[in-house]
Amino acid sequence: MRFVVDGMLGGLARWLRMLGYATEYDSKADDNILLRNSQTPDTVLLTRDEELYNRALAKRIHSVLVLGDTEEARLGQLARTLGISLDIDMASTRCPECGGELHEISKEEASSVVPAKSLDLYDRFWRCSNARCGKTYWVGSHWKQIRHTLEEARTIATQEEKNTAC
């Protein structure tokens, strides 16, 4: 499954990339471009715009109208309706900035860009393989927040399942 995400859902695009999904996001892409880029098989168009959603349905494009106002609620909705994974696997996670694949680098390679304090605290580092981006990542203190958000999203996904069952 790959995603095309509308200009209002930049935060969600970053999450989907972290979860390992190929995600196309360009804040300047207009509706016609979004629809055209969603026509390949296994692609889901995610939008906040009801008009765009209805245009997609008319063209038989798989689209989801994203309803939640928080990232937790949005991820929960996608987990429930599309069955997306809410676990980050470092082997398949992608660069949140550009969607490029990440590969693990040595501490030595990381040392030129990672702050000394983080080099002391952490042992594993990853770099974006997209030459125009090349950002370096590590599982730092901010991961507590990332795990918390995914935990909330899981709760929302299961709550909504129960509500639907009732």
Please report, as ranges, the residues that interact with Zn ion according to CB under 5 A. Answer: 95, 97-98, 100, 128, 130, 133
CB closer to Zn ion out of 31 and 97: 97
How near is the Cβ of 150 to Zn ion at its closest, in Å? 21
Contact call for residues 65 and 48 (beta carbons, < 8 A): yes
How near is the Cβ of 100 to Zn ion at its closest, in Å? 4
65-75 burial, b for 16+ CB within 10 Å, e for fewer?
bbebeebbbbb
How near is the Cβ of 124 to Zn ion at its closest, in Å? 17
CB closer to Zn ion out of 132 and 162: 132
CB closer to Zn ion out of 2 and 62: 2
How near is the Cβ of 128 to Zn ion at its closest, in Å? 3
CB closer to Zn ion out of 16 and 156: 16
Residue 86: closest CA among 29, 23, 134, 158? 158
CA 151 – CA 71 distance, rounded (Å): 12
Number of H helices, E strands in the chain: 7, 7
DSSP 10: H
CB closer to Zn ion out of 118 and 136: 136
CA 73 – CA 75 distance, rounded (Å): 6
